[in-house]
């Protein structure tokens, strides 16, 4: 397995601001989500932060879905109250699809030979 320093940087999605193509590992997705939750708890700064990261959040979500072999359009599950959020949580927690898929090579480097 190859070491990717970008995968441990919680601000990597900001560098890939509106990049909806490709794949994002669980670590990239969840570190960014954690940082967003912490910053969003700060009044006023949190609201500004939420506006700044709206597109990067959507983009990293789409890349995370691509990593599991699904379309980024799965965000539409959110229109189903409670059930939709549970479905997306399950999808977001799944491991990467082995090897390359239609969205690109595995970011973990596993099975890309």
**Domain boundaries in the chain?**
5-93
* Phi/psi at 104 (5° precision): 135, -175
Token pair 């997705």 is found at: 29
Percent of the chain scoring above 70 in pLDDT: 94
Tens of pLDDT, residue by residue over 85-107, are: 999 999 999 999 998 999 999 88
Let me know the angle formed at the C-alpha of 9 by 30 and 15, rounded to the nearest 5 degrees.
Answer: 100
Tens of pLDDT, residue by residue over 2-31, are: 556 555 788 888 888 899 999 999 999 999
Q: CA-based diameter of the chain, in Å?
A: 48
Element (H, E) at 56: helix 54-67
Kindly report the pTM of this predicted structure: 0.86
pLDDT given at position 10: 83
Measure the CA–CA gap between 40 and 46, rounded to whole angstroms.
Answer: 4
């Amino acid at each position: 397995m190859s070491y990717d320093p970008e995968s441990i940087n919680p601000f990597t999605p900001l560098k890939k601001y509106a990049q909806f193509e490709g794949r994002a590992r669980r670590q990239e997705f969840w570190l960014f989500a954690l940082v967003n939750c912490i910053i969003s708890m700060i009044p006023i700064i949190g609201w500004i932060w939420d506006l700044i990261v709206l597109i990067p959040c959507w983009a990293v979500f789409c890349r995370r879905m691509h990593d599991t072999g699904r379309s980024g359009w799965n965000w539409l599950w959110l229109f189903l109250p409670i059930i939709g959020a549970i479905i997306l949580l399950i999808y977001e927690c799944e491991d990467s699809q082995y090897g390359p898929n239609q969205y690109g090579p595995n970011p973990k480097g596993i099975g890309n030979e």
